[in-house]
Amino acid sequence: MTGHDENLDLDVVVVGAGFSGLYMLHRLRGLGLRTRVIERAPSVGGTWYWNRYPGARCDIESIDYQYSFSEELLREWRWSERYAAQPEILAYLEHVADRFDLRRDITFSTSVTSAVYDEAAACWMVTTDAGEVLSARWCVMATGNLSVVQPPRIPGLDSFRGRWLHTGEWPTEPVDLAGKRVAVVGTGSSGIQAVPVIARTAAMVHVLQRTPNYSMPAHNRPLASEEIEEAVRTFAERRRICEWSDAGTPLAPPTTRAVDATPEERRARYEEGWKRGGISSLSFAFTDMFTDEVANGYAQDFAREQIRSIVHDPRTAELLSPTHHIGTKRTCTDTGYFETYNRDNVELVDVRTDPIVEITPDGIRTRDRQIDVDVIVFAIGFDAITGALAEIDLRGRDGVRLRDAWAEGPQTYLGLQTAGFPNLFLITGPGSPSVLSNMVVSIEQHVDWVADCIDRLRADGLDTIEPTLEAQQAWMRHVDELAQPTLYPRATSWYLGTNIPGKPRVFNVYVAGCGPYRQECDDVVAAGYRGFVRG
């Protein structure tokens, strides 16, 4: 099949209009494919549409957290800060949508509820909550890894007389927290970004912490125009380094082990990183950070020492000091988070020793006390990685449901496709570097791979592609073998799904890095799509 199949409504349906879906649409259009994007939100942006909470910003430098596919786009957009805030990233994605005239092929305020593979016609039947049914040869899930919020499951929420908000579904109209008594539940990246900003104007902020987290100083600052000029001038080379790096960032990787260094050498490296700031402040100091408990422990000691030096009250500092291995829960970056606990209007509540019992009309009741508040901010995270896929009734060959096929955890080949679901593509799916990388770099790689794959199918006069079960099983073993020697599988975190009741505990992010992964994907293509069946 080289032209369009006129029996089908479309060539491709793409679900989601964040960084992934927008670029996917642009690429597919370039191939002359009839494409429609379905997006739940009323506009583009994905993560950056939904997460409008105070303090939301990226933790990968803005220069690297942008598309690379268009030289003109790169030249005309000017990032104002080292780490752009949510409104600026959203404005960037809106600009992309307008500049490439993408909106006319996006159906907004509409959710895909089911996608069923019709084997006889070799197409996907995609149904939306507006009752529309679309047939398309290919279906791309650009639904995001962090796009389905974990709802608060605390009894009594309905009785609360104040207002409650979730950071991941923050309202579009301004929320005025000035002079209010606010409780923030959760101290992951969202809570850690939000607390310092809320504390500036709120009357009182109670931070309800279950697990303390490591947070590195962002050292955010405005970008000087010469700096931007230089970044644009050197962007192509910088991006190439990102693409072949481990984390999708341009930082030179470490070359020595912490366990071989003297205490003085270690301290010097950690201090250097802390001064540089950002998510990799400590993780780029030594090679053994994520594989050796002792090495990780040195960095932990340094991080805890920083907390003690910032936070005046020793008991609060102690409660804020994490004990898990750095990086096994996503490391946070902040602007003045620990300093905020020196304010008179901020209180840390340890809900590990004094757990939340219920929400009452006036606030939150823990086992030992009542905390009266006007607003509760839930910064309690997401049903990550598989949440958005699980919400859709996805059925492949023989009516098999993805939910059932993945009951013990997700199964993919390269994180791009799953056996039994022909022509269904996942952008940054499980089994790829995804959430352990600069996601824009990973997204562009996946989108390009998928677009090239479809283009090649058409050129070869073929209709379908899907992985063999053997290739998929071997890939998942490979992903697991890479992960097992590291510290990642040992934590409790959304990486493993342990934050969601009933979710299987599995770690299936490809940990060997963006560069090695890219090479594996390229090799598969060079070997004639090894491990896939094309038909």
Interaction of residue 146 with ligand FAD, rule CB under 6 A: yes
Closest by CA position to 243, among listed 461, 497, 525, 433: 433
Contacts with ligand N01 in 135-194 (CB under 6 A)?
146, 167, 185-191, 193
Rounded-to-integer distance, Cα 16 and Cα 143, Å = 5
Q: Could you say which of ligand FAD, ligand N01, none residue 41 binds, taking C-beta under 5 to 8 angstroms by partner kind?
A: ligand FAD
Which distant-in-sequence residues (6+ apart) come within 8 Å of 179 by Cβ?
Answer: 201, 202, 203
Q: Is 51 in the site for ligand FAD (CB under 6 A)?
A: yes
Element (H, E) at 294: helix 293-310
Give the side-chain half-sphere CA count within 13 A for 192: 24
Least distance from C-beta 440 to ligand FAD, angstroms? 6
Residues with Cβ < 8 Å from 341, sequence gap 6 or more? 311, 312, 313, 316, 317, 320, 348
Q: What is the CB neighbour count within 10 angstroms for residue 213?
A: 22
Asked if 58 is part of the footprint of ligand FAD (rule: CB under 6 A), the reply reads: yes
Question: By CB under 6 A, is residue 385 in contact with ligand N01?
Answer: no
499 binds ligand FAD per the rule CB under 6 A: no
The verdict on 216 binding ligand N01 (CB under 6 A) reads no
Site residues for ligand FAD, 161-190, by CB under 6 A, read 190
Give the Cα separation of 243 and 513 in Å (integer): 10
Question: Which two structure tokens, joined as six digits, stand for 183?
Answer: 């409780």
Tell me which of ligand FAD, ligand N01, none is bound by residue 521, counting a contact when its beta carbon lies within the kind-specific cut-off of 5 to 8 angstroms: none
Does 213 interact with ligand FAD (rule: CB under 6 A)? no
In the three-class reduction of DSSP (H, G, I as helix; E, B as strand; rest coil), residue 87 is classed as helix
Choice from 12, 97, 112, 496 touching ligand FAD (CB under 6 A): 112
Among 15, 33, 58, 202, binds ligand N01 (CB under 6 A): 58
Nearest to 149 by CA among 350, 368, 374, 384: 384
State the Cα–Cα distance between residues 224 and 345, nearest whole angstrom. Answer: 35
Which residue from 13, 424, 62 is spatially nearest to 222, judged by alpha carbons? 62
Instruction: Pick between residue 357 and residue 405 the one whose CB is nearest to ligand FAD.
Output: 405
Residue 346 or residue 379: which is nearer to ligand FAD going by CB? Answer: 379
Cβ at position 439, least distance to ligand FAD in Å: 3
Q: Is 106 in the site for ligand FAD (CB under 6 A)?
A: no
**Binding test (CB under 6 A) with ligand FAD, winner from 10, 13, 14, 18:** 18
211 is a site residue for ligand N01 (CB under 6 A): yes
- Positions touching ligand FAD (CB under 6 A) are 15-21, 38-41, 46-47, 49, 51, 56, 58-60, 65, 111-112, 142-147, 190, 388, 391-392, 427-428, 438-439, 443
